[in-house]
């Protein structure tokens, strides 16, 4: 048959070409509309197929026929024409346009199931009318209103089209449905906070296909109980009066089980007809909370139903004790003495609506004593429009003269959603004495409290002396150590003056050299300024750095007068370049010692080879003939007597290698120039060459060291001992030796 058709088609083509006429392509296209998901084991409504001719001459009107076949497990019981078929007719065929005589069309079932009489696997359509008389392409529609799907069938439902000979129909295939298991999709349209609103819902239950819904159950966790207040709102295919005839085809029964396996269960059942196409339900119901049993956190219901729900549990509410948490972003780097420095943003967050209490209550943000608000901080609200704050032009209010306390009021609390209050880009000014973490205390009477680290204060620069030479009293033009100042970050030094100030009785004999040795800091010409008895080196900072820079001050020469104190020559560094704010009164941010001055001694110059030893309270060094020696401890005063560790007493007095300790007798021995000195722990005496000398205070152990009375030991060696109370200095002079 196929070969005959092809030969006849070729013959027609030859005749058409010979007589000058073009061949006519007559066929149809098939498109699926309204494909639905349906359940097996029942009669169901499926989608429709739109049949469209490709030309106005698609149908010749002479027995244009085609067979339409369903899958082997799908059947119809009837087929009819639109306008004459019943509502429950299996397949309805409609002529929309494009046929000269729409009534010249027939449709009838074919392929009856031999085991189920009256059940057909397909149908045949015959068109005995020409198309195109009205100038339009033909359009036909097949409605699959009532198709039976055998139990166990799953997957897509395709209709296969087979054309007859010389037919205007085309062979083809079109999908009209998908067969799947019934499923109920469950979601929470709203998740309320039970602490405020004890109504749960709407819970939305959606069918994935018609007839999927029969009943559904929601089980609450322990401590929660459904109340008799459920509201059911059906939609789409589950509305009560589906066809709008004023008669309700279906209704819903609500049952509440107070204690079903220890839980409160809400059951919603369908009464009457099942849905004819996919439907939805919205369910709302109040709950009662037993605060002694209910647990804080998510409230989740367990779900079961006539068709499998898409989830076993669903979060339907939040139940939380009303709390307010406070937090801050990463702490910002701060410099002492500077104003308008940004700190970390602060967040004050409710875990449930109403946690921030209204009624004129307030939240305070309190800075430490060495900081103040540079400006009133901006306050923003997120998460809700219900919370209202008492602010001034969107800013917190400074409540004290020291500008340490910023406050905002809670004028109207949140009701349905928790709020988040954010302190945006707050700025503070920091005193020169500031150091360590900047912590803000969050307090007040609205329920917010905590301590937050919002910044860390570190010195803007470090200052070190590259050397520390020993200088002599009364001499001029003595070279001191160079000083290096390193910024800890770019722009640490402001474009102002940097000051270096020197101790009393120490003066510069000339202006030192000042250079930027690294970075892009730009400085001006340094100048020495006289301030009474003091001097100040002023270094102008013309342009602040972008990258951290280093300043080196070299060729520092001092004039040291006789009134200068002994010890370190400490240079103080600070000034306007590091100070914008100064509540403490100090000008200085750092310091360093770039020289040391020996103590001023009156040495008996008329006696040759005099040994002069000097100790000073609080100092961990001593002098022998103006030469400095270090100690790992210092003098100690006890019961009006001055004590020194045995080792350093011996070294200072010249008993360098003749010091011994007898642990058994608890006795120390020192030898010098054939003279033996014995000191026994706990005895108020020393022995010189066997002679007992009363001391009034006993040797003892302190911090693991044997401490001996310094004056008694020195005098036992024949030395002169002098105490100078003004400088708290002990001077020991031994004549006739060095």
Q: Write down the residue that tokens 């033996």 correspond to.
A: 676
Res. 99: pLDDT tops 80: yes
CA pseudo-torsion sign 525, 529, 535, 539: negative
Considering only residues 578 and 424, tell me which one the structure prediction assigns the higher pLDDT: 424
Which pLDDT band holds residue 738 (cuts at 50, 70, 90)? low
Average pLDDT over residues 148-177: 93
User: Which pLDDT score is estimated for 6?
Assistant: 34
Domains of the chain, residue spans: 25-179, 183-319, 324-456, 461-597, 611-734
CB atoms within 10 A of CB 297: 11
| Whether the predicted pLDDT of 291 surpasses 70 | yes
Instruction: Give the pLDDT confidence of 134-145 residue by residue, as tens digits.
Output: 889 999 999 999
How many whole angstroms separate alpha carbon 17 and alpha carbon 12? 9
Task: Give yes or no for residue 121 having a pLDDT over 90.
Answer: yes
Q: Is the pLDDT of residue 668 over 90?
A: no
Helix, coil or strand: residue 5: helix
Query: Which whole number is the average pLDDT over 13-35?
Result: 61
Cα 159 to Cα 175: distance, rounded to the nearest angstrom: 6
pLDDT band at residue 108, thresholds of 50, 70 and 90? Answer: very high
Rounded to whole angstroms, the Cα distance separating 445 from 441 reads 13
Give pLDDT, residue 586: 62
| CA-atom Rg of the chain in angstroms | 51
Per CATH, domain 183-319 is 2.60.40: yes
25-179 has which fold?
Immunoglobulin-like (2.60.40)
Q: Which residue has the tokens 């969050």?
A: 442
Distance from C-alpha of 643 to C-alpha of 686, rounded to nearest angstrom: 13
Tokens of 588: 């200085």
pLDDT tens for 697-724 read 888 888 888 888 888 888 887 888 888 7
The candidate with the shortest Cα–Cα distance to 60, out of 89, 93, 22, 25, is 25
- pLDDT value, residue 523: 94
Instruction: Quote the mean pLDDT of the chain.
Output: 86
- Poorest-confidence range of 179-183, 257-261, 397-401, 670-674? 670-674
pLDDT of 487 over the 50 cut: yes
> What is the predicted pLDDT for the residue at 286?
93
Lowest-pLDDT range of 4-13, 450-459, 645-654:
4-13
Provide the pLDDT for residue 219.
Answer: 95
CATH superfamily of 611-734: Copper amine oxidase-like, N-terminal domain (3.30.457.10)
Helix (H, G, I), strand (E, B) or coil at 229: coil
- Give the model confidence (pLDDT) of 299-340 as tens digits: 999 999 988 898 999 999 988 878 899 999 999 988 888 889
Please tell me which of 16-30, 156-170, 563-577, 713-727 the model is most confident about, judged by mean pLDDT.
156-170
pLDDT digits (tens, 9 = 90+) for 27-53: 899 999 989 888 888 898 999 999 999
Digit-coded pLDDT (tens) for 226-267: 998 899 999 988 998 887 788 888 899 999 998 888 899 999
**CA dist., res. 297 & res. 397, Å (int):** 35
List CB contacts of 540: < 8 A, sequence separation 6 or more: 496, 497, 498, 523, 524, 525, 526
Predicted structure pTM score? 0.48
- pLDDT score of 656: 61
Same fold, 183-319 and 324-456: yes
CATH of domain 461-597: 2.60.40
* pLDDT higher than threshold 60 for residue 602: no
Percent of the chain at pLDDT above 90? 49
Read off the pLDDT of residues 403-418 as tens digits, 9 standing for 90 and up. 999 999 999 988 888 8
For residue 30, give both structure tokens: 């098939």
Look at residue 14 and tell me whether its pLDDT is greater than 70.
no
Fold for 324-456, please state it: Immunoglobulin-like (2.60.40)
Task: Report helix, strand and coil shares of the chain as percent, to nearest 5.
Answer: 5, 50, 45
What Cα–Cα distance (Å) separates residue 647 from each residue in 4, 385, 643, 653, 707? 130, 78, 12, 10, 9
- Could you tell me which residues come within 8 angstroms of residue 117 by beta carbon, excluding any fewer than 6 positions away? none
Compare 626 and 442 and report the one with higher pLDDT: 442
Q: Name the 3-class secondary structure at 710.
A: helix
Q: What is the distance between the alpha carbons of residues 376 and 371, in angstroms, rounded to a whole number?
A: 14
Residue appearing with tokens 């100040």: 536
Residue 709 CB partners (closer than 8 Å, separation 6+): 641, 642, 643, 686, 695, 697, 699
Q: Residue 7 pLDDT > 70, yes or no?
A: no
Positions of E strands within 673-712: 675-680, 685-688, 691-694, 700-702, 705-709
The residues pairing with 31 across neighbouring beta strands, listed in sequence order, are 50
List pLDDT tens digits, range 533-559. Answer: 789 999 999 999 999 999 999 999 999
Residue 288 pLDDT > 80, yes or no?
Answer: yes
226 compared with 629, residue with greater pLDDT: 226
CA distance 161 to 142: 12
**CB proximity list for 444: less than 8 A, separation 6 or greater:** 361, 362, 363, 364, 407
Query: Residue 4: its pLDDT value, please?
Result: 36
Residue with tokens 């037993």: 290
* pLDDT value of residue 197: 63
CA 412 vs CA 234, 323, 385, 417: distances in Å? 37, 17, 10, 13
Q: How confident is the model at residue 433 (pLDDT cuts 50, 70, 90)?
A: confident
Please tell me the predicted confidence (pLDDT) of residue 599: 57
In this prediction, residue 737 carries a pLDDT of 56
Residue 8 pLDDT level (bands cut at 50, 70, 90): very low
Return all residues near 110 (Cβ < 8 A) that are at least 6 apart. Answer: 67, 120, 121, 122, 123, 124
Residues near 398 by beta carbon (within 8 Å), at least 6 away in sequence: 373, 376, 405, 406, 407
Predicted local confidence at residue 24, as pLDDT: 42
């Amino acid at each position: 048959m196929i070969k005959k058709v092809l030969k006849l088609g070729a013959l027609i083509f030859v005749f058409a070409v010979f007589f000058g006429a073009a061949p006519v392509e007559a066929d149809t296209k098939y498109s699926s509309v309204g494909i639905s998901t349906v359940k097996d084991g029942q009669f169901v409504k499926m989608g429709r197929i739109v049949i469209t001719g490709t030309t106005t001459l698609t149908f010749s009107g002479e027995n244009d026929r085609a067979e339409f076949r369903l899958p082997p497990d799908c059947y119809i019981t009837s087929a009819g024409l639109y306008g004459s078929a019943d509502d429950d007719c299996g397949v309805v065929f409609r002529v929309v346009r494009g046929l000269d005589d729409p009534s010249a069309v027939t449709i009838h079932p074919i392929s009856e199931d031999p085991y189920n009489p009256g059940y057909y696997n397909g149908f045949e359509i015959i068109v005995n009318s020409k198309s195109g008389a009205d100038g339009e392409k033909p359009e036909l529609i097949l409605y699959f209103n009532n198709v039976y799907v055998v139990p166990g069938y799953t997957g897509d439902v395709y209709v296969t089209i087979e054309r007859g000979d010389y037919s205007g129909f085309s062979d083809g295939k079109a999908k009209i449905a998908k067969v799947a298991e019934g499923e109920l999709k469950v979601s929470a349209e709203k998740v309320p906070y039970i602490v405020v609103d004890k109504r749960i819902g709407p819970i939305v239950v959606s069918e994935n296909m018609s007839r999927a819904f029969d009943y559904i159950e929601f089980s609450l966790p322990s401590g929660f109980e459904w109340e008799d207040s459920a509201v059911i709102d059906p939609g789409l295919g589950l509305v009560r009066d589906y066809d709008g005839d004023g008669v309700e085809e279906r209704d819903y029964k609500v049952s509440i089980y107070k204690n079903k396996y220890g839980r409160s269960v809400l059951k919603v059942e369908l009464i009457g007809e099942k849905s004819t196409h996919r439907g939805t339900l919205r369910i709302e119901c109040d709950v009662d909370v037993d605060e002694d049993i209910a647990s804080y956190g998510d409230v989740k219901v367990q779900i079961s139903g006539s068709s499998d729900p898409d989830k076993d549990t669903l979060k339907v509410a939040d139940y939380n004790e009303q709390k307010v948490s406070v937090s801050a972003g990463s702490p910002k780097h701060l410099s002492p003495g500077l104003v308008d420095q940004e700190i970390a943003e602060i967040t004050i967050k409710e875990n449930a609506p109403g946690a921030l209490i209204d009624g004129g209550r307030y939240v305070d943000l309190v800075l430490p004593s060495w900081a103040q608000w540079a400006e009133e901080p901006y306050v923003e609200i997120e998460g809700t429009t219900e919370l209202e704050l008492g602010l001034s032009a969107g800013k917190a209010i400074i409540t004290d003269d020291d500008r340490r306390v910023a406050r905002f009021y809670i004028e109207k609390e949140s009701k349905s959603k928790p709020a988040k209050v954010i302190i945006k880009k707050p700025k503070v000014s920091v005193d020169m004495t500031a150091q360590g973490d900047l912590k803000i205390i969050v307090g007040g009477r609205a329920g917010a409290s905590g301590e937050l680290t919002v910044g860390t204060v570190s010195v803007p620069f470090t200052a070190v002396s590259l050397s520390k030479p020993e200088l002599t009293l009364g001499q001029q033009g003595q070279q001191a150590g160079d000083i290096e100042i390193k910024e800890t970050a770019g722009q640490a030094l402001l474009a102002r003056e940097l000051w270096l100030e020197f101790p009393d009785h120490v003066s510069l004999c000339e202006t030192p050299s000042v250079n930027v040795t690294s970075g892009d800091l730009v400085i001006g010409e340094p100048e020495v300024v006289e301030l009474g008895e003091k001097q100040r080196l002023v270094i102008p900072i013309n342009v602040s750095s972008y990258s951290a820079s280093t300043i080196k001050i070299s060729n520092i020469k001092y004039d040291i007068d006789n009134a200068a104190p002994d010890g370190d020559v400490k240079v103080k560094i600070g000034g306007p370049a590091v100070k914008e704010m100064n509540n403490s009164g100090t000008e200085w941010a750092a310091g360093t010692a770039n020289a040391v001055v020996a103590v001023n001694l009156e040495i008996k110059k008329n006696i040759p080879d005099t040994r002069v030893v000097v100790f000073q309270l609080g100092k961990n060094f001593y002098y022998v003939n103006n030469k400095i020696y270090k100690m790992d401890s210092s003098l100690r005063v006890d019961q009006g007597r001055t004590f020194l560790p045995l080792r350093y007493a011996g070294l200072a007095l010249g008993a360098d290698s003749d010091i011994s300790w007898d642990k058994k007798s608890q006795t120390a021995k020192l030898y010098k120039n054939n003279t033996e000195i014995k000191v026994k722990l706990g005895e108020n005496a020393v022995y010189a060459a066997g002679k007992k000398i009363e001391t009034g205070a006993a040797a003892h152990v302190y911090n693991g060291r044997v401490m001996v009375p310094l004056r008694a030991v020195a005098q036992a060696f024949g030395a002169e001992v002098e105490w100078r109370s003004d400088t708290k200095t002990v001077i020991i002079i031994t004549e006739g030796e060095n």
